[in-house]
Amino acid sequence: MAVYTEVSDEALRAFLSDYELGELLAFRGIAEGVENSNYALKTARGDFILTLYEKRVDPAELPWFLGLMRHLVSRGLACPEPVPGRDGEALRVLAGRPAAICTFLPGIWPRRVRPAHCEPLGEALGALHLAGDGFSDARRNGLGPHAWGPLLDKCRRDAAPELVAELDASLAAILRGWPEAGALPVGHIHADLFPDNVFFLDDGRGQRVSGLIDFYFACTDLLAYDVAVCLNAWCFEPDRSFNVTKARALLRGYRAKRALSAEELAALPVLCRGAAMRFLLTRLYDWVNTPAGAMVTRKDPMEYLHKLRFFQHAEDPGAIGG
């Protein structure tokens, strides 16, 4: 989440007049993240999140994202539900940007991931993959393997030559080893399930997931790739070492909801390398292209270079918790 587009009080009140949400009580920007402009919104009807979709999001795809979220809520998954206006439409325009209001989810995302978070996270990811069944429309992963070469090309001018050379070699190896079409199960995936997109509550017996948010990279792709994204995002320590205990807990939780095939397990190492490459490249691109003055925290791309190097030496799925 982030704030790129400012919203005036007058524009907000005019926008809210199309909803049955009651009196506006509070409104503030949310600075975390790098993609869209997000605001916490409190009205007489409760708490909500207002999102203005920025240039990286194709407005033509927003009905797919919002439709998927409505479908997942209908299947019992805890995720934001788009709020329709009086005319029944959830997608509108505010401050020159496509915009939508979604329900607010309680909970806290973990600033420091512990093993106790990883098993419920895995269960939530498996539940998401199962809940996606029945949403028939497909969306190609716009940041899948086909996009990594062009994205690296956009970073060449501003990145160190030795880094570019290393990424060229790593990317070529990843693409050579990538699973062929039809080799692994495909479904609707989150594709960006980082700790700040998962809310937890302590129910007295331990941590439980209270909500999954930020579905604006969701797409139709390899289900096991979503697992690889989470192994990257949840299973490294601050000193950049890989915590296999966390990985085993994550995979144990996932298997409690959805079984991983032998083929998926065998592919996990290259899928993890691909996930590391994807986030390294998008963070590198954002690092050199974030607009001056944007209320946003840039994320270090080099964190993912270390992860990529680790997974390059993890040929056996057992080394990553499989």
- Each residue's pLDDT tens digit, 106-165: 999 999 999 999 999 999 999 999 999 999 889 999 999 999 999 999 999 988 999 999
Q: Is residue 3 part of a domain?
A: no
Q: Is residue 211 part of a domain?
A: yes
* The total number of structural domains that make up the chain: 2
- Lowest-confidence region among 67-81, 186-200, 294-308: 294-308
Kindly state whether residues 179 and 38 are assigned to the same domain. Answer: no
Kindly state whether residues 63 and 132 are assigned to the same domain. Answer: no
**Angle 190-193-194 from CA coordinates, rounded to 5°:** 160
Q: What are phi and psi of 109, to 5 degrees?
A: -85, 145
pLDDT band at residue 299, thresholds of 50, 70 and 90? confident
Residue 293 has pLDDT above 80, yes or no: no
Q: Which of 103, 136, 160 is the last residue of a domain?
A: 103
Q: Which of 70, 103, 136 is the last residue of a domain?
A: 103
Kindly state the percentage of the chain with pLDDT values over 70.
95
Q: What's the number of CA atoms in the CB half-sphere (13 Å) around residue 269?
A: 14
Kindly state whether residues 87 and 196 are assigned to the same domain. Answer: no
Q: Is residue 110 part of a domain?
A: no
- Lowest-confidence region among 1-5, 6-10, 15-19: 1-5
Token pair recorded at residue 49: 């999140």
Mean pLDDT of the chain: 93
Kindly state whether residues 77 and 119 are assigned to the same domain. Answer: no
Helices (H), the chain: 9-16, 62-74, 115-131, 145-155, 161-177, 223-234, 244-257, 262-289, 302-312
pLDDT band at residue 34, thresholds of 50, 70 and 90? low
In terms of residue numbers, what domain contains 57?
9-103
Phi/psi class of residue 8: alpha, beta or left (left: φ > 0; alpha: ψ in -120 to 50)?
beta
Residue predicted with more confidence, 190 or 204: 190
Q: In the predicted model, what is the mean pLDDT of residues 174-198?
A: 97
Residue 1 has pLDDT above 50, yes or no: no
Q: Is residue 241 part of a domain?
A: yes
